[in-house]
Structures are given as structure tokens and as C-alpha cells.
């Protein structure tokens, strides 16, 4: 479930490793199907051994480490992946251990194993994750940018917000939260939104994501998401609608949160403050 706030929390949690060099890489094989490592493990290892970590970046929902030869290691956690600097929740789903200067370790752990770790050279990175393939970062959106990319579309706004080609970083959870703050019904077609609504929406995108980063993301009831120190996030205690079906809306207090399904995903909204 890691979305922009969780992934940004991961990035911040590994920033202090910049300057260290990679002294070993281990890809343990458990009883589960192994995750995708690109290129295959031995080439990946050869490609990164001895390299120095030059910087960290975040591209939408991916954690990026730039190496001193301008290659990049990209962690794509998808549903249940974690980037850690402390011991992982269990050894069972540990997928990769990167040793730094022979002392510290960076781990990639993934319970369901849908995530991918990729080593890119500069050109392939631009090709796969450049602006042609991924929209602008959600933290950077302005009303003009958002309207320019979405306003002509016939799709429902919640589904469009989750499309990484249009804007990068928003997933299922934060799409619901953002639309509640903006007071927009999730099933509203993009081409039916007004100029005022694009302004309110752009503001809500940045506000909700920044607030969630402050609380280090959301750890849901399954407990999977952890920060890099294997501690829970805190934003779940501030959710306005997500996973709060039948609970009173905190904004209007006169309606209960409802759940609907859009594009096979749960959407939560308040029928009082989010009218179509």
C-alpha cells in the first residue's frame, strides 16, 4: 500500500546512508516465490558492488538511490514492500540485504512479493521513469497543472487521481482522503469539475500528502507498513474517511462515511460534504 507519504518516509529514513559504499549484496531465497530483481541477481550484484551512494530521490511511489557511477537502484514496494535500516519484521520475507561499509545494512522486505528492485543506468531510468512515462510529482501540483492534465478527461476524478501517468504518487487511500478534504464526490467526471474545484483539489492534494508525511504514513490494521526503523506510521489516526465506513463524518457530523467500489478498489466518502 505504500503511496507517496510512505515512500517519502522511506527515502528520508535512508538519507543518512549517502556516502557509504556497498560491500555486499545478499538475496535470500525463502519458501516463497522470489520477487523480481532486474537485472537478474548476479548481474545486479556485480553492478552495484563497490559503488558509493551518492544521493536519494523519490519518483512517485518509488525509492531511488543514485550511485556514484550514475546508475540508480529503484525500490518499487507496490503493496507490501518495505525499505528498512533496522531488522525487518521477520526473516521470512526478506528479499534483499545491501551491506554498507561492512557494518550498516539496507534491507528490502516484501510480504506479498509483488514489489520489484531494479538497477538502472541513466538512459534506461529516463526511459522507464521519466516524464514521458510518469506524471509530475503529486507534491508539486498546482491548480493549473492539475487541470491541464485532467480536466478534459471523462474518467471519474478518483480513478484519474490514481493514474500514475497523469500525476505520480497518489494511491487508493490518499485519493479518498484528498477528495474528502476537497469536498468533491469521487465519482464526479473530470470534465464536470469547475475551475474553483481544481483549485481546491490541488490544495487538498498537497495538504493531505504533507500532513501524512509529517505522521510518517499510514499503518493499516494489517500492520504491514513500517517506517525504516520498523515502527508504525501515525497517519491512520488522522484518516477522515478511509476504512471508516459507517462512522460519523468528522467534518459535517451529520452523515456517516460510505464505501463504494471504483475500478475494483474501495472508495470512502461522506455523502454530506461530497455531493455530485
Partner DNA sequence: CATATGTCCTGAGAGC
Partner DNA sequence: TGCTCTCAGGACATAT
Enumerate binding residues for DNA (CB under 7 A). Answer: 1, 3, 32-33, 60-61, 76, 78-79, 92-93, 111-114, 128, 153-156, 159-160, 162, 164, 171-173, 221-222, 263-266
Q: Minimum distance from CB of 92 to DNA (Å)?
A: 6
**Nearer to DNA among residue 53 and residue 178 (C-beta):** 178
* CA neighbor of 187 nearest in space, from 238, 258, 240: 258
Q: Minimum distance from CB of 211 to DNA (Å)?
A: 17
**Nearer to DNA among residue 90 and residue 104 (C-beta):** 90
Q: Minimum distance from CB of 38 to DNA (Å)?
A: 11
d(CA 276, CA 94): 45
Q: Tell me how long the chain is.
A: 276
Q: Minimum distance from CB of 152 to DNA (Å)?
A: 7
CA angle 263, 269, 274 (to 5 degrees): 110
Give the list of residues 6+ apart from residue 31 with CB closer than 8 angstroms, or none: 92
**Nearer to DNA among residue 162 and residue 270 (C-beta):** 162
**Nearer to DNA among residue 29 and residue 253 (C-beta):** 29
Which residues are tagged catalytic? Answer: 2-3, 61, 265
Question: 132: phi > 0 → left, psi -120 to 50 → alpha, else beta; which?
Answer: alpha
Query: Position of cell 474501495?
Result: 266
Q: Chain-centre distance of CA 210, in angstroms?
A: 13
Amino acid at each position: 500500500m505504500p503511496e507517496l507519504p510512505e515512500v517519502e518516509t522511506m527515502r528520508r529514513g535512508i538519507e543518512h546512508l549517502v556516502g557509504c559504499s556497498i560491500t555486499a549484496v545478499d538475496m535470500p531465497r525463502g519458501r516463497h516465490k522470489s520477487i523480481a530483481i532486474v537485472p537478474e541477481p548476479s548481474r545486479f550484484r556485480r553492478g552495484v558492488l563497490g559503488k558509493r551512494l551518492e544521493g536519494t530521490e523519490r519518483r512517485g511511489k518509488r525509492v531511488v538511490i543514485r550511485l556514484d557511477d550514475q546508475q540508480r537502484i529503484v525500490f518499487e514496494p507496490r503493496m507490501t514492500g518495505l525499505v528498512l535500516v533496522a531488522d525487518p519484521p521477520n526473516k521470512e520475507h526478506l528479499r534483499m540485504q545491501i551491506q554498507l561499509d561492512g557494518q550498516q545494512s539496507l534491507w528490502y522486505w516484501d510480504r506479498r512479493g509483488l514489489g520489484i528492485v531494479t538497477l538502472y543506468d541513466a538512459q534506461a531510468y529516463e526511459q522507464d521513469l521519466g516524464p514521458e512515462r510518469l506524471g509530475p510529482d503529486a507534491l508539486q501540483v498546482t491548480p493549473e497543472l492539475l487541470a491541464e492534465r485532467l480536466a478534459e478527461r471523462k474518467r471519474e476524478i478518483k480513478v484519474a487521481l490514481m493514474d500514475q501517468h497523469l500525476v505520480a504518487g497518489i494511491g487508493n487511500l490518499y485519493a479518498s482522503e484528498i477528495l474528502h478534504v476537497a469536498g468533491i464526490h469521487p465519482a464526479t467526471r473530470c470534465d464536470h469539475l469547475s475551475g474553483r474545484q481544481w483549485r481546491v483539489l490541488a490544495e487538498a492534494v498537497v495538504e493531505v500528502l504533507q500532513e501524512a508525511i509529517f505522521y510518517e504514513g499510514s499503518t493499516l490494521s494489517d500492520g504491514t507498513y513500517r517506517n525504516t526503523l520498523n515502527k508504525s506510521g501515525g497517519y491512520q489516526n488522522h484518516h477522515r474517511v478511509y476504512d471508516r465506513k459507517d462512522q460519523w463524518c468528522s467534518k459535517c457530523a451529520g452523515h456517516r462515511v460510505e464505501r463504494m467500489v471504483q475500478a475494483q478498489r474501495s472508495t470512502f466518502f461522506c455523502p454530506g460534504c461530497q455531493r455530485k
